[in-house]
Amino acid sequence: MKLLLIEDDRQLTDALQPLLRDAGYAVEIADNGIDGEFLGNELAPDLIVLDLGLPGKPGLDVLRSWRAAGNRTPVLVLTARDAWHERVDGLKAGADDYLGKPFHTAELLARLEAVGRRHGGQASNELSWRGVKLDTERQQATSADGRVIDLTAIEFRLLRYLMQHPREVHSKTRLSDHVYEEEQQRDSNVMEVYINRLRQHFGKDFILTRRGQGYQLAPGETE
Ligand code: CA
């Protein structure tokens, strides 16, 4: 799950980045409104955290530009404490949620999880497909035959992304876009290795190869 964090407070981004990574997000950071607006379109992130007080271009204008251009990525805005009008403006401009500064990291993570879930149409922290269950909060998977499986960070991100979009065919490039961060080694051939690891965990038929197109989860039992 790719998360774009647009925030000019370096201390805050330094503190948040490792926590967001631990929570399973591939994190990209922009420290001004102009780069942030560009990356919000260019990177096609799954979630955006947007500070409203930004150099270059104010956060509200960035959000309005995205929405006017049809960018529907879920956005959580960070507002100044007690600035209720900022929250109203943020929601009117198309934000999905807001959080006043300073905040507890646990609350940010819970809200991001909830925003992502609403957007993905999930009702709980658990994704489920063909008997495989993924608890996205505890980052733990259970195979169809009931084995609890420990996933590496990349395996978790990959499985979550596939299970959030179970009917789509994904190219290796798209998968690596959503699983890796910008500065990480991004060899899309490595994706094959991770796909095969997931097959070892969940059965070789769990993920289908669409020749020349990419990968797709096997159809659900009722389809
Ligand atoms: Ca700021």
Q: Using one digit for the tens of pLDDT, what is the confidence trace for 129-160? A: 999 999 887 888 999 999 999 888 889 999 99
* Mean per-residue pLDDT over the chain, rounded: 89
2-120 CATH: 3.40.50.2300
Task: Give the separation between CA 87 and CA 100, rounded to whole angstroms.
Answer: 8
Kindly give the pairing relationship between strand 132-135 and strand 140-142: antiparallel
Gap between the Cα atoms of 190 and 168, Å rounded: 20
Closest CA to 130 of 154, 162, 156: 162
Question: What percent of the chain shows pLDDT beyond 70?
Answer: 93
CA distance 34 to 158: 30
Q: Which residue has the higher pLDDT, 123 or 173?
A: 173
Q: Do domains 2-120 and 126-217 have the same CATH topology?
A: no
Whole-model pTM: value is 0.68
Rounded to 5 degrees, φ, ψ at 117 are -70, -45
Rounded CA-CA distance 145/176 in Å is 28
Location of structure tokens 């300073």:
102
Best-predicted range by mean pLDDT (15-24, 82-91, 115-124, 187-196): 15-24
Better pLDDT: 223 or 149: 149
Rounded distance from Cα 52 to ligand 1 centre (Å):
7
Q: Half-sphere exposure of 62 toward its Cβ, with a 13 Å CA cutoff? A: 31
Segment among 6-10, 14-18, 52-56, 161-165 with least mean pLDDT: 161-165
Q: Domain-by-domain residue ranges, the chain?
A: 2-120, 126-217
Ligand 1 center–CA 59 separation, angstroms: 9
183 Cα–ligand 1 center, Å:
24
- The reported pLDDT for the residue numbered 223 is 57
- Give the CA angle between residues 41, 47, 50 to the nearest 5°: 80
Q: What is the pLDDT of residues 159-186, one digit of tens each?
A: 999 998 888 999 988 888 888 876 566 6
* 200-216 tens-digit pLDDT: 999 999 999 998 889 99
Q: How far is the CA of 39 from the centre of ligand 1 (A)?
A: 17
Ligand 1 midpoint to CA 36 (Å): 13
SS3 string of 74-111?
A: CEEEEECCCCHHHHHHHHHCCCCEEEECCCCHHHHHHH
Asked if residue 84 has pLDDT above 90, the reply is no
Distance 90 CA to ligand 1 centre (A): 15
CA 58 to centroid of ligand 1, rounded, Å? 9
Q: Which of 123-127, 152-156, 194-198 has the lowest mean pLDDT?
A: 123-127
126-217 topology per CATH: Arc Repressor Mutant, subunit A (1.10.10)
Between the CA of 163 and the centroid of ligand 1 the distance, in Å, is 35
Task: Tell how far the Cα of 9 is from the centroid of ligand 1, in angstroms.
Answer: 6
SS3 label, residue 33: helix
> Radius of gyration (Cα) for the chain, nearest Å?
18
Q: Say how many Å lie between the CA of residue 184 and the centre of ligand 1.
A: 27
Is residue 77 within 8 Å of 63, Cβ to Cβ? yes
- Cα(8) to centroid(ligand 1), Å: 5
Phi, psi values for residue 136, rounded to 5°: -75, -20
